Chain A
Amino acid sequence: MKPAGPSALFYQTVAELAAQLEARQLSAVELMQAVVGRTRAVEERVQAFNSFDAEDALAQARASDARRAAGSARGPLDGIPVGLKDVIAVQGQPLTASSRMLANFVSPYDSTATRRLKAAGAICWGRLNLDEFAMGSSTENSAFKTTRNPWDLTRVPGGSSGGSAAAVAAGEAVVSFGSDTGGSIRQPAALCGIVGMKPTYGLVSRYGLIAFASSLDQIGPFAHTVEDAAIALGAVAGHDPLDSTSVAVEIPDYRAELGRRRGPWKLGIPKEYFGAGLDPEVAAAVETAIGHYRKLGCEIREISLPHTKYAVGAYYIIATAECSSNLSRYDGIRYGHRAQEAKDVVDLYFQSRAEGFGAEVKRRIILGTYVLSSGYYDAYYLRAQKVRTLIRRDFLEAYREVDAIVTPTSPTPAFKRGEKAADPLAMYLSDTYTIGVNLAGLPGISLPCGFTKNRLPIGLQIIGRPFEEAALLAIAQAYERDHDWAARHPDL
């Protein structure tokens, strides 16, 4: 582990880099060159990217420098290389979802998040690997490559946004964006020792995000610091007329709000999140972090989220039901993988999808098709929706007493590649602490809170009230301010 202190350009924060860019001590091209150089140096070991286009990125950097020279720079993200999970559409760039199905697909349009990032001057840098169609917790389900955890290349980076987390942790991007359906931002952030945030459902437009489970998916940022996460979130948040599920709420200046909110806060510790299956080293680190909040004057209360035990079950019914329908469009007719030897149109569907989708995607399509089938709908889907309501009610009930809820992000630190790949249930359980947040539509953040004896990062999850991202970020930063985890980087 490298100690805290001045670090290489590619490990500096948005806040630091923006100040240098602003002061003309650094150009966007120099920064981009540093990130490209770093990527070329470590990517063979990390395998975070499905693809990147250094020439295009440098052209974007030159455009950023030109804006700044003309006095029309667009804010702190102007000239910052931002990596995007390969499910977020960028016009003219590949959009594969790490699936054979879309191996050759190039998006003809920008997602709303992309459009807003471009408007903020960010450089859309590379296509980051993921579990195919965001289904998985280890990035091992990618059809193209297995991303490694930069802290231990024999371990997984988590998932599904493993590429997005690994790229930031390895210095291959300054910040990145992923999507979180059941923990796909927070869990890899925890396993890779960085900050990852899932906003409230409806805060960030899903237009142009390849859907896994529409009622759960949210785009969110990865960053080294809470402040960087606040800057990145602010660039993409806000109502979008192209997404009916996006909510028209006032978007505060999250970065400015960080300085204004000082606590102390009432924090709830849900007893259901500290039971069997929680790794003792993770438990100890989280307890220590909670102790720190107590020292800061926060009131710590044990709370109960009684329906937690039903979350994983309800999640895998709702998410698979939605994905079975969402993925129907990948049929080999208009774009994407098409089987060559099909006899007729039905055969074309069967073969194209059989060849185009991987095992986990097929498993979930089959499961989702089953739970929506005539005669099973009430027993599965409808009941899962009722459970979902109860889980949300648990949280909202807790928020009458506390400002935020503090839990571990993942029950274990990064596990070995292949360790759970053959056991879908064990893999599903690694999302135990993150799934409830998606079912309830709440904002959640994971930030580093220590390391195991084996030098593996541990993540602390803080869950906030709906649309109170500003408070959530401030609570996270109150801890971060007194620790130097963010300044530590893996040896690569």
Chain B
Amino acid sequence: MNYEAVIGLEVHVQVRTKSKMFSRTAVGYGQPENTLTDPVVLALPGALPVMNKAALEQVIKTGLLLECEIAEVCKWDRKNYFYPDSPKNYQISQYDQPICKGGAIEIELYDKAGERSEYKKIPLTRIHLEEDVGKLSHSAEGSLIDFNRTGTPLMEIVSEPALLSANEAHAYLTALKMLMIYGGISDCDMEKGQMRCDANVSIRQLGTAELGTKVELKNLNSIAFVRDGIEHEIKRQVAIVNQGGTIIQETRDYDGQTGISQSLRTKEMAHDYRYFPDPDLMPVRVDDAWKRRLESECPERPYVKKRRFAERYMLPHSITSVLIPTREWCDIFEEEAQKAEPIDVPAIANLIVNFYRSEAAKNSVSLADFRKRVLVGEIAKLAAKVRQRVILSTAVASVSSTMVGTGLTIDAIVAQEGLSERADINELEQWCREAIAANPKALSDFKSGKESAINAFKGPVMKAAKGKADPKLVDDALRRRLAQM
């Protein structure tokens, strides 16, 4: 029998803010234990929460980027349960009135060769804001709690059960992460716990509409593990059903290292969280003017940009797939493209993708500082000079390296390195003669019709020219000489 999987994802994203969700203490990662605390974070007697407006704005922006309906009122509820990582023993969250409802994430699905992609919209159920919990560590001597993470603004994005494969789940998280980074909403660094994913997986007979019993997978701590875990779970469920068994509703832990999952708890142990409106926090009205301002701060969505780049600049998938994930590179590209002759635009994209990205990384130049080294228009100039053969294509690597490394302009580099100087044609012809004379084997090969043998002469000529020989002129000169022999 044929089955299809139905998957819904619950993704927790730490929202980037300066301070915690309900207090003024800074958020942070990797600080000494229990240094990012205060009476509110530790739930000391008498401490009260005050909402971080910046965190709410981040979630509203997320909702706008995902085309959600934004609630008119942001209301807070308490989710009551006891656990040592939660100092109040309730979590401030949003129960019946999430700040965002509906909406969709556009995902990109590649063909098998990874060369072509198509897009699909995955509908969302809701997005709400809450506070993160602390971290427990256990040892033989006992258990310790670090409350540094406690109270970090945390957004939960819940999809409809509308993903049909592990690959779609992978594409969903990739798209979500890219969007969060674009919007400045989160860095989504899964190693730092900034993005965490639970997956609800069920299977059903192909062609049926009813949902099967779902199993929740927890602790999927990388995008690759999400894909692996879901694939593993689908296989597990199909095997059970094929052997005549039934799936039980449960929560399972998937270990990405070993590829094994085990049951954490079954449905009978489900909590009664006794949600009720938090009387310490007043509802906050979200008016149209506020929404409009936040909308104006939202960037173009990545896949919209990708399609626009393809259409407007004729950039191929091989280029956009590298450029698009980093909004700053897209911006740098467009700034250069605006300064350039249209004919140079594809070359500019090429220069960025193949040279400037690696040079920036090599020289530890952050994207924020890139424009301090490479002034707007310099990459466009480089592309133009290569087209005009003022700079030889062989010199592009060293030019881009010098530019990022030193901050010199293209004109200064050309002057300093003498890049526009060319070898004298008589000298060039002399080097050609010498190269041919030095390699009689290649000469006889060429004579007997082996075209590629000509390349054996080019290396010594280029070397003798110290980079000042135009490869095309060398080729011409060699052929002229060989024709005479």
Please measure, in the bound complex, the distance between the C-alpha atom of A214 and the C-alpha atom of B82, giving whole angstroms.
Answer: 20
CB B458 to nearest CB in A, in angstroms, measures 74
CB A466 to nearest CB in B, in angstroms, measures 15
Please measure, in the bound complex, the distance between the C-alpha atom of A328 and the C-alpha atom of B276, giving whole angstroms.
Answer: 14
Is the CB–CB distance between B276 and A381 below 8 Å? yes
Is the CB–CB distance between B78 and A325 below 8 Å? yes
Interface residue stretch chosen among B85-93, B287-295, B335-343: B85-93
> In B252-299, which residues have CB < 8 Å from any A CB?
272, 274-276, 279-282
At the interface, yes or no: A245 with Cβ under 8 Å from chain B? yes
At the interface, yes or no: A373 with Cβ under 8 Å from chain B? yes
Partner of A89, one of B46, B49, B274, B279: B46
Please measure, in the bound complex, the distance between the C-alpha atom of A207 and the C-alpha atom of B84, giving whole angstroms.
Answer: 24
At the interface, yes or no: A316 with Cβ under 8 Å from chain B? no
At the interface, yes or no: A369 with Cβ under 8 Å from chain B? yes
In the complex where A373-B272, A373-B274, A381-B276 touch, is A243 in contact with B50 (Cβ < 8 A)?
yes
> In B235-267, which residues have CB < 8 Å from any A CB?
none
CB closest residue in chain A, given B39:
A109
In the complex where A345-B84, A373-B274 touch, is A329 in contact with B46 (Cβ < 8 A)?
no
At the interface, yes or no: B350 with Cβ under 8 Å from chain A? no
Is the CB–CB distance between B87 and A334 below 8 Å? yes
CB B238 to nearest CB in A, in angstroms, measures 34
At the interface, yes or no: B44 with Cβ under 8 Å from chain A? yes
Which A residues lie within 8 Å of B145 (CB)? 333-334
Is the CB–CB distance between B45 and A334 below 8 Å? no
Is the CB–CB distance between B272 and A245 below 8 Å? no
At the interface, yes or no: B390 with Cβ under 8 Å from chain A? no
Is the CB–CB distance between B88 and A328 below 8 Å? yes
In the complex where A328-B89, A369-B274 touch, is A211 in contact with B84 (Cβ < 8 A)?
no
At the interface, yes or no: A304 with Cβ under 8 Å from chain B? no
CB closest residue in chain A, given B22:
A244
Against B, the Cβ 8 Å flags (1 = close, 0 = not) of A187-217 are 0000000000000000000111111011100
CB closest residue in chain A, given B271:
A374
CB A210 to nearest CB in B, in angstroms, measures 5
Is the CB–CB distance between B45 and A210 below 8 Å? yes
Is the CB–CB distance between A207 and B47 below 8 Å? yes
At the interface, yes or no: A274 with Cβ under 8 Å from chain B? no
Which A residues lie within 8 Å of B279 (CB)? 213-215, 245, 322
Which B residues lie within 8 Å of A331 (CB)? 82, 84, 89
At the interface, yes or no: A282 with Cβ under 8 Å from chain B? no
Interface residue stretch chosen among A100-108, A135-143, A398-406: A100-108
Please measure, in the bound complex, the distance between the C-alpha atom of A331 and the C-alpha atom of B46, giving whole angstroms.
Answer: 15
Which A residues lie within 8 Å of B280 (CB)? 211, 214, 244-245
Is the CB–CB distance between B46 and A111 below 8 Å? yes
> In A89-120, which residues have CB < 8 Å from any B CB?
89, 95, 97, 102, 105, 107-109, 111
Please measure, in the bound complex, the distance between the C-alpha atom of A369 and the C-alpha atom of B51, giving whole angstroms.
Answer: 26
Is the CB–CB distance between A210 and B49 below 8 Å? no
At the interface, yes or no: B42 with Cβ under 8 Å from chain A? yes
Is the CB–CB distance between B82 and A349 below 8 Å? yes
At the interface, yes or no: A18 with Cβ under 8 Å from chain B? no
At the interface, yes or no: B165 with Cβ under 8 Å from chain A? no
CB A412 to nearest CB in B, in angstroms, measures 31
Is the CB–CB distance between B89 and A321 below 8 Å? no
> In B272-330, which residues have CB < 8 Å from any A CB?
272, 274-276, 279-282
Please measure, in the bound complex, the distance between the C-alpha atom of A334 and the C-alpha atom of B146, giving whole angstroms.
Answer: 11
Which A residues lie within 8 Å of B87 (CB)? 329, 333-334
Please measure, in the bound complex, the distance between the C-alpha atom of A320 and the C-alpha atom of B159, giving whole angstroms.
Answer: 36
In the complex where A210-B45, A349-B82 touch, is A108 in contact with B39 (Cβ < 8 A)?
yes
Is the CB–CB distance between B272 and A374 below 8 Å? yes
CB A407 to nearest CB in B, in angstroms, measures 26
At the interface, yes or no: B43 with Cβ under 8 Å from chain A? yes
In the complex where A328-B80, A333-B84 touch, is A89 in contact with B50 (Cβ < 8 A)?
no
Interface size on B, residues (CB 8 A): 29
At the interface, yes or no: A87 with Cβ under 8 Å from chain B? yes
Is the CB–CB distance between B274 and A374 below 8 Å? yes
User: What is the interface residue range for chain A against chain B?
Assistant: 35 or more
CB closest residue in chain A, given B84:
A333
> In B143-157, which residues have CB < 8 Å from any A CB?
143, 145
Partner of B46, one of A210, A244, A334, A374: A210
Please measure, in the bound complex, the distance between the C-alpha atom of A470 and the C-alpha atom of B44, giving whole angstroms.
Answer: 34
Please measure, in the bound complex, the distance between the C-alpha atom of A89 and the C-alpha atom of B44, giving whole angstroms.
Answer: 10
CB closest residue in chain B, given A350:
B82
Is the CB–CB distance between B274 and A95 below 8 Å? no
Is the CB–CB distance between A325 and B50 below 8 Å? no
Partner of B80, one of A95, A215, A325, A335: A325
Which A residues lie within 8 Å of B415 (CB)? none
Which A residues lie within 8 Å of B425 (CB)? none
Please measure, in the bound complex, the distance between the C-alpha atom of A213 and the C-alpha atom of B279, giving whole angstroms.
Answer: 8
Which B residues lie within 8 Å of A349 (CB)? 82
Is the CB–CB distance between A372 and B39 below 8 Å? no
At the interface, yes or no: B361 with Cβ under 8 Å from chain A? no
Is the CB–CB distance between B78 and A244 below 8 Å? no
CB closest residue in chain B, given A353:
B82
Of listed B84, B145, B279, B282, residue having the most chain A CB within 10 A: B279
Which B residues lie within 8 Å of A310 (CB)? none
CB closest residue in chain B, given A329:
B43
Is the CB–CB distance between B45 and A89 below 8 Å? yes
Please measure, in the bound complex, the distance between the C-alpha atom of A111 and the C-alpha atom of B45, giving whole angstroms.
Answer: 10
At the interface, yes or no: B211 with Cβ under 8 Å from chain A? no
CB B186 to nearest CB in A, in angstroms, measures 25
At the interface, yes or no: B437 with Cβ under 8 Å from chain A? no
At the interface, yes or no: B48 with Cβ under 8 Å from chain A? yes
Please measure, in the bound complex, the distance between the C-alpha atom of A109 and the C-alpha atom of B38, giving whole angstroms.
Answer: 10
Of listed B43, B44, B45, residue having the most chain A CB within 10 A: B45
Please measure, in the bound complex, the distance between the C-alpha atom of A111 and the C-alpha atom of B48, giving whole angstroms.
Answer: 10
CB B339 to nearest CB in A, in angstroms, measures 48
> In B48-105, which residues have CB < 8 Å from any A CB?
48-51, 78, 80, 82, 84, 87-90
> In A279-325, which residues have CB < 8 Å from any B CB?
321-322, 324-325
Please measure, in the bound complex, the distance between the C-alpha atom of A66 and the C-alpha atom of B340, giving whole angstroms.
Answer: 75
At the interface, yes or no: A265 with Cβ under 8 Å from chain B? no
CB closest residue in chain A, given B272:
A374
CB closest residue in chain B, given A205:
B48
In the complex where A109-B39, A325-B90, A333-B84 touch, is A244 in contact with B274 (Cβ < 8 A)?
no
CB closest residue in chain A, given B284:
A244
CB A246 to nearest CB in B, in angstroms, measures 9
CB A61 to nearest CB in B, in angstroms, measures 26
Which A residues lie within 8 Å of B46 (CB)? 87-89, 95, 107, 111, 206-211
Please measure, in the bound complex, the distance between the C-alpha atom of A329 and the C-alpha atom of B80, giving whole angstroms.
Answer: 11
Is the CB–CB distance between A243 and B274 below 8 Å? no
Partner of A328, one of B42, B45, B82, B282: B82
Is the CB–CB distance between A244 and B51 below 8 Å? yes
At the interface, yes or no: A377 with Cβ under 8 Å from chain B? yes
Is the CB–CB distance between B276 and A321 below 8 Å? yes
Contacts A105-B45, A244-B49, A245-B280 known; list 12 others, CB within 8 Å. A107-B44, A209-B46, A241-B50, A243-B48, A244-B48, A245-B281, A329-B43, A334-B145, A346-B82, A373-B272, A373-B274, A374-B272
13 example contacts (A-B, Cβ-Cβ < 8 A) are as follows: A207-B48, A208-B46, A208-B47, A215-B279, A325-B90, A328-B82, A328-B88, A328-B90, A331-B89, A333-B145, A345-B84, A369-B274, A373-B274
Binding site for B on A (CB under 8 A): 87-89, 95, 97, 102, 105, 107-109, 111, 206-211, 213-215, 241-245, 321-322, 324-325, 328-331, 333-335, 345-346, 349, 369, 372-374, 377, 381
Binding site for A on B (CB under 8 A): 39, 42-51, 78, 80, 82, 84, 87-90, 143, 145, 272, 274-276, 279-282
Q: Shortest 5 CB-CB distances between A and B: which pairs?
A: A328-B89, A214-B279, A215-B279, A372-B274, A208-B46
